Structure 1
Amino acid sequence: MKLFRMAAVLLAVLAGPAYAQMPNLNLLQEGPGKTPEEKAADAERDKAYKETLKKIPDAKASNDPWGGMRSDPAPKQAAPKASTASSVPKKKSGATAN
């Protein structure tokens, strides 16, 4: 019998912290639902909230504090174009076969 009491006490001591970590779930509603007046007030409040959000201006594209410190990248130079003289076929020099 003494062994049974000791086992019960040991079980209670070990189960205490585990019981404290369990969430308190209440699946039943605490009270009645909202009245039509409360629902209308909530809808009006949501509408006012959404209208207020539309009044907030858009954020700037970049907020870079070091943006002015950087130099602009050097413009890329175009490749030099071939002169028109090089497009004319050159005559070969030397002996020609007849």
Structure 2
Amino acid sequence: MKLFRMAVVLALVAGPAFAQDGAAPHINLMADGPPKTDDEKAADAAREKAYKETLKKIPDAKASNDPWGGMRADPPKQPAPKTSAVTSAPKKPKAGTAAN
């Protein structure tokens, strides 16, 4: 009985190793088709050329340098222009206050 148990354990351990051994024949299931004719080669070349020309027509997209641009709800605000003291009008005193 011990011999039978040891044979079963050995079979279970050796099973995965046997599957990786490569005992199965290496068969390529993708059959190579007949070679392309000159017309098919010319058509493939024309198709490839048209594809490359089409890719050249696509304009380059300008990438934004703002990594947090998608996180903001509104665009960044510009600072208010500074007014000079010469152009500002003098302040008027409030009504009801005495002027010195």
Q: TM-score range by the shorter chain?
A: 0.3 to 0.5
More helix by share: 1
Q: Which has the higher contact order (CA 8 A, sep 6+)?
A: 2
TM-score, length-scaled by structure 1: 0.43
